[in-house]
Amino acid sequence: NSVTEKEYDIKVEYMTTIPENPYFGENFNISVKVKNIGKHSATDNLLLYSDVNNDSLPDILLTNEQISLSSSDSISHIFNLS
């Protein structure tokens, strides 16, 4: 554990579903906010997976969105799912 700022470091600030408790088969959104807390600009991918057998391991890639953030910058993204 260190208080030293890393060269490259992107963190998820929050992730929510809308509606909060969707029913099976109902369309819903996942809202994600990520922030670059590193010293330099960074490019990475937001990957959203489905865990079809409830073992807490990713099974099916649902979407892959590339993001680019300057240092201290953040972005919110909404995944629309059905």
Contact 43, 68 (CB under 8 A): yes
Rounded Cα distance between 66 and 2, Å, is: 28
Place of tokens 């799912």: 81
Task: Supply 13's token pair.
Answer: 């600030």
Taking only the tens of pLDDT, the chain with its 82 residues reads 567 889 999 999 999 999 999 898 899 999 999 999 999 999 999 999 999 999 999 999 999 999 999 999 999 999 998 7
pLDDT of residue 41: 96
Yes or no: say if 60 and 49 are a contact pair by the CB < 8 Å rule: yes
pLDDT at 1: 53
